[in-house]
Amino acid sequence: MNADQPVSSGNTVLNKTETLVSTLVKPTETTDSVKISLNDLEIQVFAVGPRAFLKENPMLSINNTQMDIDLIGISQNNNGSAAVAFMSYTNMVDMLSPKLFNPNKKTVKIMMSTVVSATLPKTINTQLPTPVNFTIKHINELPPNSTLFCVYWNHSEWIVDGCYLLQTNISHSVCSCFHLSTFALIMQLNPPTGDDSDPVMDLINIIAVAVGLLFLSLTLLTFAICRRNPRVTNTALTNLCISLLLAHLLFLLTQIFLQYIQPQHLLCAVLAGVLHFLFLSAFVWMFIQAVLLFISVKNLTKIRSKQKEVLSWKFLIVIGYVIPLIIVGVSVGLFSDGYGSEQCWLKTDNGFLWSFLGPVCAILAANMILFVSILVIIISTLKSMKSEITKIKKAKNEQHLVKSVILKTMVQFYIVGSSWILGFFTDYNKMLKVVFLFFNSQQGTFIFFIHCAFNQEVRQLYKKWWQALSAACRPHTKKKWIIQH
């Protein structure tokens, strides 16, 4: 071992061992098994041939570690033949140190298992039909405030991509991986959520999201009561609120219980996928709302008249939910390991985050274009109204209407996602991050005030409810209130 370059020495040992072990694979018509035990290395090689009749997959076991691999399925993709080599190293901790897992995190990392490797020597098609499972015995005690990670070696550090903790108890853990490599079980004391977290930012985030959820709930309640009034709500606005409510609620719960969810990598990945879908759906509804706003402003003379929705609500539903579902489905198909980062979000490896940022950037750019077009239309309309001298009184009324539309349009531009642009710059300024968290958590608040609190018909409805509630709370008018209602 080269003491100055332990990682290089570890990689050399792994590569040479795999090369030597591959020579143990011999052609066979049925099955062949070889097992070697050395001081610091245990090896088991199992091969199947075209005439092998296995009712179930072989369970390979070395040095308190078992591997369950679908060798039968692999052989079917290789003309009936396949071989697997399973190796366990007891002298790798010094070379492939657990400190190389999340090296930027100032936490204590302890190796909880021996280092094991699995390969498919002399096998052409090495694609796994099903994930491979490792049942690993712990070599150290498991403290209550620790987090376990199933990791694999990528030549320079331990990473979790493609592996997740299936189940665990005091003495054993089961790791499931979508590929073969060199694996280990690493324990990290003090979950990473407490390492880099800022208590003040966390509190601001929780309070802001909670307030936004409250107003989103009030908005949806109002929309449900006024669902037949086109001046209050529409399909796009309602579904935007639903998507934002579900996305922010799931995000809030995930962050609150992150230390319990994160060790369950499958659950963490599923939640990341659901969040991906909900936020994409919210952005699609923002775009639809921007398009409908553009159509409404383009026909300013018809603002006061009751109109049906420009597009069928069934068509809008398909656009608002099917498109995000397709994007998430393609993302899962192309890079299934991209979900489940430390924050139970999308991983940044291989540019996978662009499966979210790409559609978001496209929608924000389209909304910017629509917003500029809306302003041009409004300004043009104002100028034309000023030129109608013979209709001064009418012009003044229309100008008041258009100015109101301008104000609402400016706020609508925020509602349809313009504040998300700040997210590209939050890494450079903490204050900007606070502003970003505030504005994006308060989309529901602004929707409530613009479409409910500032809507005359809704205010009258609120006033009627308040009077009825006040009357019901007065003992001397309770009987009269019951008769009237």
CATH of the domain at 450: 1.20.1070.10
Same domain assignment for residues 32 and 74: yes
DSSP 478: H
Q: Is residue 440 part of a domain?
A: yes
Instruction: Tell me: pLDDT of 365 over 80.
Output: yes
Same domain assignment for residues 270 and 407: yes
pLDDT at 1: 63
pLDDT at 482: 54
At 309, list the tokens. 């929705």
Alpha carbon 352 to its chain centroid, in Å, reads: 11
Compute the residue count for the chain. Answer: 485
Q: Mean pLDDT, to the nearest integer, of 394-412?
A: 58
Residue that the structure tokens 């490792």 belong to:
134
At 142, list the tokens. 């498991």
Q: Which residues sit opposite 159 in a β-bridge?
A: 152
Computed from CA positions of residues 344, 350, 355, 357, in that sequence, does the dihedral angle turn out positive or negative? positive
Residue that the structure tokens 């719960």 belong to:
253
DSSP 462: H
Torsion of CA 48, 51, 57, 63, to 10 degrees: -30
CA distance 213 to 395: 41
357 contact partners, CB below 8 Å, separation of at least 6: none
Long-range contacts of residues 465-468, Cβ cutoff 8 Å, at least 24 apart: none
Instruction: Tell me: pLDDT of 194 over 50.
Output: no
Torsion of CA 384, 385, 386, 387, to 10 degrees: 60
Same domain assignment for residues 224 and 182: no
Same domain assignment for residues 182 and 236: no
At 417, list the tokens. 């996602």
Identify which of 375, 397, 370, 395 has the alpha carbon closest to the alpha carbon of residue 384: 395
Same domain assignment for residues 358 and 406: yes
Same domain assignment for residues 353 and 211: yes
Residue where a domain stops, chosen among 135, 157, 190: 190
For residue 447, which amino acid is it?
Answer: I
At 44, list the tokens. 């088991």
pLDDT at 67: 94
Which secondary-structure segment (H or E) carries 328? helix 313-334
DSSP 449: I
Q: Is 68 left (phi over 0), alpha (psi -120 to 50) or beta?
A: beta
Instruction: Tell me: pLDDT of 410 over 70.
Output: no
pLDDT at 390: 42
Least confident of 202-211, 327-336, 343-352, 475-484: 475-484
225 contact partners, CB below 8 Å, separation of at least 6: 461
More confident residue, 428 or 49: 49
Quickly state the pLDDT bin for 474 (edges 50, 70, 90): low
pLDDT at 303: 43
In 59-149, which ranges are continuous DSSP H helix? 71-76
At 419, list the tokens. 């504040």
Count the Cβ atoms, other than its own, within 10 Å of residue 436.
19
Specify the CATH number for the domain of residue 82.
2.60.220.50
Same domain assignment for residues 213 and 137: no
Classified as helix, coil or strand, 298 is helix
> Per DSSP, which regions of 39-171 are E strands?
41-48, 59-62, 65-68, 82-89, 109-111, 115-119, 132-137, 146-153, 158-159, 163-168
Q: Is residue 173 part of a domain?
A: yes
Same domain assignment for residues 97 and 143: yes
Domain count, the chain: 2
Same domain assignment for residues 79 and 113: yes
pTM of the complete model: 0.61
Same domain assignment for residues 123 and 56: yes
Q: Is residue 485 part of a domain?
A: no
CA distance 262 to 341: 9
Percent of the chain's residues with pLDDT above 90: 27
For residue 233, which amino acid is it?
Answer: T
Least confident of 79-83, 168-172, 456-460: 456-460
CA distance 15 to 61: 21
What is the domain extent for residue 420?
Answer: 199-454
Sheet holding 59-62, edge to edge: 59-62, 65-68, 132-137, 172-177, 163-168
Q: Mean pLDDT, to the nearest integer, of 311-329?
A: 87
CA distance 54 to 162: 28
Same domain assignment for residues 42 and 161: yes
At 317, list the tokens. 């539903």
Asked whether the beta carbons of 409 and 374 are under 8 A apart, the reply is yes
* Residues 440-479: b if buried by 16+ CB within 10 A, e if exposed: bbbbbbbbbebbbeebeebeebeeeeeeeeeeeeeeeeee
Q: Is residue 466 part of a domain?
A: no
Which of 82-86, 99-103, 124-128, 448-452 is the most confident on average? 82-86
Helix 313-334 vs helix 235-256: crossing angle, to nearest 10: 40
Q: What's the burial of 387, exposed, middle or buried (CB within 10 Å: 0-12/13-18/19+)?
A: exposed
Beta-strand relationship, 163-168 and 82-89: unpaired
Residue where a domain stops, chosen among 144, 168, 190: 190
Helix 313-334 vs helix 265-298: crossing angle, to nearest 10: 140
Percent of the chain's residues with pLDDT above 70: 81
Classified as helix, coil or strand, 176 is strand
Chain-wide mean pLDDT for the chain? 81
At 311, list the tokens. 């597009």
CA distance 321 to 442: 23
Q: Is residue 391 part of a domain?
A: yes
